[in-house]
Amino acid sequence: MRILLVEDDGALCLGISRALEREGWRVDVLADGQQAMAEGLEAQYDLAVLDLGLPRRDGMEVLRHWRNRGARLPVLLLTARDELSDRVQGLNAGADDYLTKPFDLAELVARLRALKRRADGRIDEVLRIGELTLDLATRELTHRGERVRMSPREIALTQLLMQRAGRLVPKESIIGTLSSWEADFSENSVEVYVHRLRKRFAALGVTIKTVRGFGYVLEAAPAPAAGAAGAGD
Ligand code: CA
C-alpha cells in the first residue's frame, strides 16, 4: 500500500512515517499544500493522510481540489483540537475520516486499514436503479447503455440518491455533498438542484419523491407506456 502523507510538522511526520513503514506500507511525504494539490491526483496512491494547517494552501483547499478533479483516494484528515468546524467541513468536502491531534499512532494505523478495506470493497462499484447505471470508477451515468451527460455536481447528487435508493436522503446530506463545490450552499439551493435533477430523471424512468421537511427518496418509476420513450430533453 502506498500512502501520501501531507504534514508540515517534521517530528510528527517522522513518527507517522515510521509507524506506517513498520506495517510494510510505502510513504511519500510532502510538507506543502501547493505541491500536494498536484501530487494527490497521481494514481499511484491508495490513501492520503492530510493535515489541515499547511503552508501555501491549507488542507481543505487541497482536499477540495482533489475531489473536484475526481480523485477518489480515501483521505484521512489530521486536525487540531480547536478545529471542530473545519473537521465537519472536511467531512463534507469529501474526507473519509479524521483524527484529532495528538493521536495514538496505533489508532492511525487501524483507521487507515479500515479505510483501505472500505476502498477495496468499492472498486468497480456500479449503482443501478431502473435502467439507469452509474459507474463509480468513471463517474459515467448511462441509461439503457447510452451516456447521460451531467455536470459533476449533478453526478454527485445522483450518486448520493442512488446509494440510498428507496430510502430517505436527508437535506443535510445533500448540503454536505454539494457544498464541496460551493461554500455557501443553502437549503434553498438543494431544492433548486433537486428540481433540476427531477426534470432530467423524468425522461430516464426515475423519480425523486419529496418527503416534506426531511428530504428525498429516489425510486424507479413504473415502466412508461410504449412510445413514450425518447421524449423530453
Ligand atoms: Ca500543520
Q: Which amino acid is at 8?
A: D
Residue 110 CA to ligand 1 centre (angstroms): 22
Q: Provide the whole-model pTM.
A: 0.53
Residue 8 CA to ligand 1 centre (angstroms): 5
Question: How high is the pLDDT of residue 54?
Answer: 93
Ranges 15-29, 71-85, 104-118: which has the least confidence: 71-85
Residue 7 CA to ligand 1 centre (angstroms): 6
**pLDDT tens for each residue of 187-223:** 888 899 999 999 999 999 999 999 888 889 999 887 6
Q: Stretch 144-158: mean pLDDT, rounded?
A: 90
Angstrom distance (rounded) from CA 117 to CA 127: 19
Residue 78 CA to ligand 1 centre (angstroms): 9
Q: Where residue 232 falls among pLDDT bands split at 50, 70, 90? A: very low
Look at phi and psi of residue 141 and say left if phi exceeds 0, alpha if psi is from -120 to 50, else beta: beta
For the cut 80, the answer to whether the pLDDT of residue 79 exceeds it is yes
Angstrom distance (rounded) from CA 103 to CA 138: 35
Residue 177 CA to ligand 1 centre (angstroms): 26
User: How high is the mean pLDDT of the chain?
Assistant: 85
Please compute, for residue 171, the number of CA atoms within 13 A of its CA located in the half-sphere on the CB side. Answer: 15
Residue 147 CA to ligand 1 centre (angstroms): 43
Q: Stretch 48-67: mean pLDDT, rounded?
A: 93
Residue 118 CA to ligand 1 centre (angstroms): 27
Q: Reduced to 3 states, what is the DSSP secondary structure of residue 63?
A: helix
Question: How high is the pLDDT of residue 226?
Answer: 52
Angstrom distance (rounded) from CA 66 to CA 181: 12
More confident residue, 27 or 110: 27
- Sheet with 97-100, side-by-side order of all strands: 26-30, 2-6, 47-51, 75-79, 97-100
